[in-house]
Amino acid sequence: MQLSFDSQPAGQIDTPALASYVFEKDNRIEGALAAIDQATGGRLKRLAESGELSGKPLEATLVHDPPGLAAERLLLVGAGKPDKFDGAMLRKVAGTALRWLRAKSVTRMTFLLREGERNAAGAEAAAEGLLLASFDSDFYKTEKKNNKAMESVALAGPEGAPVEDLKAGMERGRIIGEAQNFTRTLVNEPSNRLTPRILAERGEAMACECGLGVEVLDEKRIADLKMGALLSVAQGSIEPPRVIVVTYSPARAKPGAPVLGLVGKAVTFDTGGISIKPSEGMEKMKYDMAGGAAMLGTMKALSALKPAVKVVAVIPATENMPGGKAQKPGDVQFAMSGKSIEVLNTDAEGRLILADGITYAKKLGCTHLVDAATLTGAIVVALANINAGVFTNNQEFEERVLASARRAGEKMWPMPLDDEYRDMIKSTIADIQNISGGRGGGASVGAAFLREFTEDTPWVHLDIAGTAWLDEQKPWAAKGPTGVAVRTLVDLAMNL
């Protein structure tokens, strides 16, 4: 999808569809819409007064052949209460406009930002919303019955708004939106088309295209490095594991500056291993690499946005299969850190591969760590698909990540990680066990296991099991992979 900027006055924009938004209750036909209302001889005001143009969140109203405008159609999307309006809502509004028009076979549109006061941030959010809405999960349909695509979208602002600011914001939104869609593309791939080796190739290709450093560790290097926890998961599959390391290293990074490590879980398919999962819904476990894919998307965006700090992504990638060589409940493994682990449940494999990913990221010199992982079903029970769960060993660093999430419009919520959770993973035979004896607190138990490998390094764990996949389509988004965590992590790196 092409994205461009149109600096003409809204009334003169010659397009199949001009889209904008209206607020609830106060009938505010202000900002850029005032000019349109005037051009149409007060038609918008009348529609608002009659109640037809209600402004209710994401309600769409279409006006054909609007008088006085060069556009063939005018689409107005409800933006809800003006005091609740934020970047997250603007993203949804812009995305809804695109998908609504696309369903009517419209292939070109212009999205008009109303107020000039939030200039760059508004343009960024709108561009993201438009790009994210253009994504669909029907990769392998050979006959696209609804063969409709939005080919080009222009962004426009109110008259007098600073065009350079809007263009800069739009450009950032384009970079981030495309990076998030790159993540979604990887997550959407079925496991037969995205093995650990193929994921490594895709990561390598992206890194080369973007001028990032990249190294892929194969099964031999992984064994030489004694990544016993990762290898224990991989041994059940005939597909060999990989560790993908992508590096962004700015020339201007000062000595002693922080180095951000991004560790992403990439289980390209999680059967559960010998502790096998029920067959119902198992197909969804192709998304168990969403954490790793989020790190690749983040690196793609950072290569263009160029933060001041060094960032290293470490992505352990494997299948979790119950092959003849698979590990069995009760097996004891040695992680790269030297810690021994009793594997009581082979389905708690994400924490095993992340243990070695975290140790390796520290070895590469990372001073701050964030991991993202579809780690537990328990976080889905706690937070559904609304919030990602956030765990930490360092409150200050967690606050920075949460601030980034708020700015990026990604919902994340702090979860507890008291010392007591550590007691729940004491093993009788080894240093720790990979599940607790009891039933409760599964998400915190998983986080407590990871904490054992972070030592003193400030670390934040994002459990994205609930938020990485959308089970139902939304007016602004397709059903399927969401690309969650990319925007938050980009913001974090840009502000570290």
Residues within the interface to Zn ion (CB under 5 A): 267, 270, 288, 347, 349-350
Torsion of Cα atoms, 70 then 71 then 76 then 77, to 10°? -140
Find which of Zn ion, ligand BES, none residue 155 binds, CB within 5 to 8 Å per kind: none
Shortest distance, position 318 Cβ to ligand BES, whole Å? 12
Tell me if 233 sits within 8 A of 339, measured CB to CB: no
Tell me if 414 contacts ligand BES by CB under 6 A.
Answer: no
Tell me if 374 contacts ligand BES by CB under 6 A.
Answer: yes
Shortest distance, position 208 Cβ to ligand BES, whole Å? 30
Q: Is there a catalytic annotation at residue 144?
A: no
* Rounded (5°) CA angle 391-393-395: 80
Token pair 């029920």 in the structure block, residue: 278
Tell me if 432 contacts ligand BES by CB under 6 A.
Answer: no
Choose, by CB under 6 A, the member of 94, 380, 447, 492 that binds ligand BES: 380
Binders in 461-490 for ligand BES, by CB under 6 A: 465
CA 456 to chain centre: 27
Find which of Zn ion, ligand BES, none residue 398 binds, CB within 5 to 8 Å per kind: none
Shortest distance, position 357 Cβ to Zn ion, whole Å? 14
**How many Å from the N-terminal Cα to the C-terminal Cα in the chain?**
32
Tell me if 127 contacts ligand BES by CB under 6 A.
Answer: no
Q: Which stretch binds ligand BES (CB under 6 A): 111-119, 240-248, 357-365, 369-377?
A: 369-377
The one catalytic residue among 277, 339, 422, 474: 277
Choose, by CB under 6 A, the member of 377, 403, 422, 431 that binds ligand BES: 377
Which structure tokens are listed for 487? 């925007």
Q: Is there a catalytic annotation at residue 277?
A: yes
Shortest distance, position 451 Cβ to ligand BES, whole Å? 16
Binding mask 256-275 for ligand BES (x = CB under 6 A): --------------x-----
List for the chain the helix, strand, coil content (%; round to 5): 40, 20, 40
Three-class SS state of 179: helix
Distance CA 167, CA 84 (A): 25
In whole angstroms, how large is the CA radius of gyration of the chain? 24
- Taking the CA of residue 9 as centre, how many other CA atoms within 13 Å lie in the half-sphere pointing to its CB? 10
Distance CA 232, CA 235 (A): 5
Binders in 291-350 for ligand BES, by CB under 6 A: 345, 347-350
Find which of ligand BES, Zn ion, none residue 480 binds, CB within 5 to 8 Å per kind: none
Tell me if 245 sits within 8 A of 364, measured CB to CB: yes
Distance CA 419, CA 425 (A): 11
Shortest distance, position 195 Cβ to ligand BES, whole Å? 17
Per DSSP, the residues of 265-286 read -EEEEE--TTSPPPSTTGGGGG
Tell me if 376 contacts ligand BES by CB under 6 A.
Answer: yes
The one catalytic residue among 102, 351, 362, 400: 351
Shortest distance, position 272 Cβ to Zn ion, whole Å? 5
Interface ranges with ligand BES (CB under 6 A): 270, 288, 345, 347-350, 374-378, 380, 435, 442, 465
Q: Annotated active-site positions, please?
A: 277, 351
